């Protein structure tokens, strides 16, 4: 075994050290990857006549997915020294080393009727070896974007050693109308804003949709009865029904447990908002908090044993963690300003939140014990973070103020880099799981 | 007793008519044919905002809303004075029901503002109850920051958005 040394320039924000890494091609995502890894996508080969257009589209989408992470830098095709004409012929590594491509992706697309298949291979240029086995995905022509996302996910995953997030969807609130009479409807889209599909009309206000863990259902708050209640919507059939909550005037801010057996939410009664859990199997309701303060925006830990939520029991909005079986809550936010809409990360180690301080709003992350707090964004109104399936990126709502103000969805990585707008006229994103 | 019976009749009559809730509840167009006042009443000599028994009079002359300080649900003295007028009107015009809407300005997160709006609406309800309005005639709802009436991005607008509005309804409360 030849041992190689592949150095990726990294700067760890907290250790403050550059790290040299040995072994096969591996981009270790730290809080401080500052030099994107150069990669090339060889134009995918059309193996059937009808596949030509698709091969080009998929090539571009694979490159775009990786490029948009901020972790990779695409080498433009006009820099390529050679381009293999078929999928099977050997890759001349020297031609790719010469243009400093560290990873090369190549693929082929074939179409038969409304079905298509995509093959791909990933190469570690400096070792001159394939990184992992070749893979093939098959599906409908209509679903071609998903296949490109799957190729990009596989490449991302093999290079970083972490799960991807491209073949995932986001449920959100699509907005139209003026600010004083905003029309809101539920919509679902691919993570990159493509394939928008509306799930409700805009007859009633809808707020803050949340996916079930496997993405088959969506919880959201609806005013369709005239008063805010929680609905459950089946994504495939778009059928919906009201969730049977504990009796109360207003139910809102729902979220599934990670095993989808329970829903946690806020219920307002007599002006007091507390947290409740409804077991979907037994229909039993459990009241978690009884304080006269506002308790809302609950989110489960991945193992389901704890929740993080916001409360103003101290006099201002702050974040707390407590056991799902009840008991004492422990405050974890101690920085400047107010903290709201906490969300437990998929890995379980961090909490994303909205911070409001001195007239500015920030999306931030902290460890579950409240340490290592970092504010990732700043604007006149950022709120409502949602984690990517791999816990590396956060999507949130950014709203511009004033009469002409609108909301849009933005994403940022958890190092605070790569801030980008996803779609406009949208709010309350909830990022779903990687699709099977 | 007679009043109660009449109120029930009005309720029953209206339950078969189109929705009479404020337009923000849905998409019902104006001109649905439902009069704003009690349908059982004889033609009044005064109409609209000039009629002291009309919801328009309540909204414009009595005052349908009270305002709150930032992040507060405490009633101000001016707010209490308005609510004293509301309580008197509701006692006189006992056919009507009230839906109390709580609202927040946009300087807050969505969930918190929903909860804050609920607090504000409830503060109004509790005050009206203390002045003799039966709680069964009132229902509260929070819109959080979803329905601002003033759209500028400074305190001049925010102060008007931090409000609780009493909507007079001759329809049901649900």
pLDDT in tens, A88-144: 999 999 999 999 999 999 999 999 999 999 999 999 999 999 999 999 999 999 999
Give me the residues paired with residue A343 across strands.
Answer: A352
Which pLDDT belongs to residue A17? 28
Contact A227 B111 (CB under 8 A): no
Mean pLDDT (whole number) for A375-392: 98
Which residues of chain B does A341 touch, with a Cβ-Cβ cutoff of 8 Å?
109-111
Size of interface A-B (CB pairs under 8 A): 117
Identify the pLDDT of residue A275. Answer: 97
CA of residue A266 relative to chain centroid, distance: 24
> In the predicted model, what is the mean pLDDT of chain B?
81
Confidence of residue A180 (pLDDT cuts 50, 70, 90): confident
Which pLDDT score, from 0 to 100, does residue B1 have? 38
| Residue B25, pLDDT score | 34
Q: Does the pLDDT value for residue B26 go beyond 60? A: no
Q: Are residues A211 and A79 in the same domain?
A: no
Model confidence at B8: pLDDT above 70: no
Q: Look at residue A400 and tell me whether its pLDDT is greater than 80.
A: yes
* Average pLDDT of span A193-211: 97
How many percent of chain A have pLDDT more than 90? 89
Instruction: Say what the pLDDT of residue A326 is.
Output: 82
Give the three-state DSSP class for A228: coil
Q: In this structure, are A96 and A214 located in the same domain?
A: no
B45's CB contacts (< 8 A; 6+ apart) are: none
Is residue A191 assigned to a domain? yes
Please tell me the predicted confidence (pLDDT) of residue A424: 98
CATH number of domain containing A152: 3.40.50.10070
Q: How confident is the model at residue A23 (pLDDT cuts 50, 70, 90)?
A: low
Query: What DSSP assignment string belongs to A99-161?
Result: TT-SEEEEEEEEEETTEEEEEEEEEETTTTEESS--EEEEEEGGGHHHHHHHHHHHHHHHHHS
> Does residue B32 carry a pLDDT above 70?
no
Residue B47's pLDDT is 72
pLDDT higher for A147 or B45?
A147
Quote the number of domains for chain A.
Answer: 2
Q: Do A297 and B73 touch (CB under 8 A)?
A: no
Are A265 and A364 in the same domain? Answer: yes
Chain A positions touching B108 (Cβ under 8 A) are 317, 340, 356
Q: Is the pLDDT of residue B135 over 90?
A: yes
Point out which residues pair with A424 in neighbouring strands: A408
H or E element, residue B122: helix B110-130
In a domain, A224, yes or no: yes
Report chain A residues whose CB lies below 8 A from the CB of B118.
249-250, 268, 271, 273
Shortest CB distance from A268 goes to which of B24, B108, B118?
B118
pLDDT at A2 over 60: no
Provide the CATH number for the domain around residue A430: 2.120.10.30
Query: Contact A116/A124 with Cβ under 8 angstroms?
Result: no
Least reliable range by pLDDT among A5-14, A178-187, B37-46: A5-14
Structural domain includes residue A349:
yes
Which residues have a Cβ under 8 Å from the Cβ of A133 and sit 6 or more positions away? none
- 3-class secondary structure per residue, A174-211: EEECCHHHCEEEEEEEECCCCCCEECCCCCCCEEEEEE
Print the domain residue range for A253: 169-434
More confident residue, A179 or A45: A45
Contacts of A402 in chain B (CB under 8 A): 151-153
A207 and B110 within 8 Å at the Cβ level: the answer is yes
Domain boundaries along the sequence of chain B? 2-25+49-169
CATH of B2-25+49-169, one of 3.30.1330.60, 3.40.50.150, 3.40.50.2300, 2.60.40.10: 3.30.1330.60
Nearest CB partner across the interface for B141, out of A208, A250, A399: A250
């Amino acid at each position: 075994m030849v041992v190689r040394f592949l150095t990726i320039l990294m700067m760890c924000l907290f250790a403050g050290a550059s790290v040299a890494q040995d072994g096969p091609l591996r981009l270790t995502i730290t809080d401080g990857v500052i030099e994107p890894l150069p990669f090339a996508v060889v134009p995918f080969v059309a193996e059937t006549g009808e596949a030509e257009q698709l091969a080009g589209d998929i090539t571009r989408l694979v490159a775009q997915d990786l490029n948009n992470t901020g972790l990779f830098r695409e080498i433009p095709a006009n820099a390529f020294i050679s381009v293999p004409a078929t999928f099977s012929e050997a890759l001349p590594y020297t031609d790719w080393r010469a243009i400093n491509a560290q990873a090369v992706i190549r693929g082929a697309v074939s179409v038969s009727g409304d079905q298509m298949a995509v093959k791909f291979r990933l190469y570690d240029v400096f070792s001159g070896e394939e990184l992992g086995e070749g893979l093939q995905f098959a599906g409908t022509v209509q679903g071609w974007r998903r296949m490109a996302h799957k190729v990009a996910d596989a490449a991302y995953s093999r290079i970083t050693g972490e799960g991807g997030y491209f073949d995932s969807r986001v449920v959100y609130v699509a907005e139209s109308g003026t600010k004083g009479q905003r029309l809101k409807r539920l919509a679902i889209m691919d993570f990159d804003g493509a394939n928008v599909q509306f799930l409700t009309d805009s007859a009633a206000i809808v707020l803050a949709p949340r996916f079930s863990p496997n993405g088959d259902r969506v919880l959201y708050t609806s005013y369709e009865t005239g008063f805010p209640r929680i609905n459950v919507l089946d994504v495939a059939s778009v059928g919906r029904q009201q969730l049977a909550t504990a009796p109360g005037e207003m139910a809102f801010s729902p979220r599934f447990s990670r095993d989808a057996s329970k829903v946690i939410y806020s219920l307002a009664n007599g002006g007091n908002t507390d947290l409740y859990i409804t077991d979907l199997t037994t229909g039993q309701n459990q009241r978690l908090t009884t304080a006269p303060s506002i308790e809302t925006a609950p989110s489960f830990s991945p193992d389901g044993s704890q929740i993080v939520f916001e409360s103003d029991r101290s006099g201002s909005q702050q974040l707390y963690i407590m056991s799902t079986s009840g008991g004492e809550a422990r405050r974890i936010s101690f920085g400047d300003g107010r903290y709201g809409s906490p969300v437990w990360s998929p890995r379980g180690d961090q909490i994303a939140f909205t911070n409001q301080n001195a007239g500015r709003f920030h999306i931030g992350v902290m460890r579950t014990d409240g340490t290592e707090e970092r504010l990732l964004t700043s604007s006149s109104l950022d709120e409502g973070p949602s984690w990517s399936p791999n816990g590396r990126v956060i999507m949130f709502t950014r709203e511009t103020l004033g009469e002409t103000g609108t909301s849009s969805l933005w994403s940022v990585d958890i190092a605070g880099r790569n801030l980008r707008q996803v779609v406009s006229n949208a709010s309350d994103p909830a990022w779903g799981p990687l699709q099977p | 007793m007679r009043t109660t019976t009449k109120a029930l009749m009005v309720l029953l009559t209206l339950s078969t008519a189109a929705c009479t809730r404020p337009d923000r509840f849905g998409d019902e167009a104006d001109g649905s044919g439902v009069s704003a006042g009690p349908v059982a009443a004889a033609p009044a000599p005064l109409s609209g905002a000039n009629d002291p028994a009309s919801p328009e009079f309540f909204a414009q002359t009595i005052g349908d809303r009270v305002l709150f300080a930032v992040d507060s649900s405490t009633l101000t003295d001016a707010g209490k004075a308005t609510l004293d007028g509301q309580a008197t009107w509701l006692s006189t015009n006992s056919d009507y029901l009230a839906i109390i809407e709580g609202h927040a300005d946009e300087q807050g997160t969505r969930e918190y503002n929903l909860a804050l709006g609920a607090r504000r609406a409830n503060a109004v309800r509790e005050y009206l109850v203390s002045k003799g309005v039966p709680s069964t005639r009132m229902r509260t709802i929070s819109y959080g920051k979803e329905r601002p009436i003033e759209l500028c991005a400074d305190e001049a607008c925010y102060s008007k958005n931090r409000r609780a509005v009493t909507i007079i309804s001759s329809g049901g409360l649900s």
